[in-house]
Amino acid sequence: MTATDNWLDAVRWDDKGLVPVIAQEHSTGDVLMFAWMNREALAQTAQLRQAVYFSRSRNKLWFKGEESGHVQQVHEIRLDCDNDVVLLRVTQTGHEPGIACHTGRHSCFYSILQDGQWQAVDPVLKDPHSIYKPTE
């Protein structure tokens, strides 16, 4: 870490060294996804201007689009008033319209509560099996 990285000290990291992150589409305001970042992920995101998250399930950095090609170009990085949530204003690339969700949808927030049940209301834009390699 360099002296120019002291802006990271303003972030209120949780007890695991993580901060929640919301990715919002720059052009439309659509909320695309929620993820986590550690200090390294946020520093790399700021440096590369591409979203880098921390995968809790894999316990490693996750470069958004590293497998799918659906990269998030970062326009702005914002911090909320309590310094404990990061907002990324992004352009989702790799497919038109952009696919942010591993289900092949534009947004991870594709279900709506209707009559006491969750209903998927946004279409699958691309079959996720054609996006991701099968796990071994």
Q: Is pLDDT at 136 greater than 50 in this prediction?
A: no
pLDDT at 134 over 90: no
The whole model's pTM is what? 0.85
Percent of the chain with pLDDT over 70: 93
Residue 38 in this model has a pLDDT that exceeds 80: yes
Q: What pLDDT band is residue 25 in, cutting at 50, 70 and 90?
A: very high
19 Cβ partners below 8 Å, 6+ apart?
11, 12, 13, 36, 37, 38, 42, 84, 85, 86
- The per-residue pLDDT for range 52-99, each reduced to its tens digit, is 999 999 999 999 988 888 899 999 999 999 999 999 999 988 767 788
Instruction: Collect all residues with Cβ–Cβ distance below 8 Å to 92 and sequence separation of at least 6.
Output: 25, 32, 70, 71, 72, 98, 99, 100, 106
User: Which domains, and CATH codes, for the chain?
Assistant: 3-131 (3.10.20.810)
